[in-house]
Amino acid sequence: MGGQTVAATLEEVLQIVRRGNPRDWESRYCGRNDLTFKFVAAFLESNGIAFEKVNWLGLGIYDSNRLFTNLAQLLSDQSDTRIIVNTFRGDGSLQQSRLQTGSILEQMLHLRELLDEINVPIINKETGRQDRETIYPWPQISLREALTNRIAHRDYSSPLQSAINISPMSIGFLTVGGLPPELTLEEALLPGATFCRNQKLADLFRRLGWMEVVGSGFSDIFRGYAQYPQKPLLKNVGRSLMVELPRVENN
């Protein structure tokens, strides 16, 4: 019998390409020289982070040849990265689907605002204490950390799209890329366990106060649910990671 030829999947081809290119995705030339940074420049300057050209090499905007990197395109006004936000009704039917566009920092801010609008606090007057207790439908730290991890650790070299799925009883964050093959889900949940797919982007998030210096993202997600019977659900399926946050307050 002759040998059998099986066509490689798109993901298998991408894995071969990644192994053949020792440079990380962020630092590779993006193929464009016409990028603009109106949003990110104004936003970073307002947060005390200089965005002059003299700083671009250190920020990862330029490579060693002073060409725009993939990170530069991700941060630019011309970013082609999209984030899908799906809203579902209680019966599971799709109510609305929105597409976030623009600089990845602009998308991050819009999504933080959107989640804050959904996560309206409830005042519990029946705690038996003199002061009132404020309860959020979703623990704030868990919601913020899930969003930050979803954007900071996504595999942006993959053509697959990530999504945020919002329903009355849960919010799910689907991140393309999943965990690196050398790290199991159980290991990722250990305190201090960390991996970083996009180092320069993570560094920028840290300077903005959106991330911690050490890997505390997953443990912080679970810490937000410490006092509740409901717990987050993490699934690492193939090349994607799903973080599902259940609602803790139903009133």
- Give, for all 251 residues of the chain, the pLDDT tens digit: 444 444 444 444 445 444 444 469 999 999 999 999 999 999 999 999 999 999 999 999 999 999 999 999 999 999 999 999 999 999 999 999 999 999 999 999 999 999 999 999 987 766 555 567 788 999 999 999 999 989 998 999 988 888 999 999 999 999 888 777 777 777 777 776 677 889 999 999 999 999 876 555 688 899 999 999 999 999 887 788 899 999 997 65
Contact (CB, 8 A) for 239 and 176:
yes
Measured CA to CA, the distance from residue 189 to residue 207 in angstroms comes to: 24
What fold characterizes domain 83-246? Answer: Heat Shock Protein 90 (3.30.565)
What confidence score (pLDDT) does residue 218 get? 81
**DSSP conformation letters of 61-116:** SB-TTS-BBHHHHHHSTT----EEEEEE-TTS-EEEEEEE-S-HHHHHHHHHHHHH
Q: pTM, whole model, 2 decimals? A: 0.84
SS3 content of the chain, % helix, strand, coil (to 5): 35, 20, 50
Domain ranges of the chain: 10-75, 83-246
Q: How many CB atoms lie within 10 A of CB 97?
A: 12
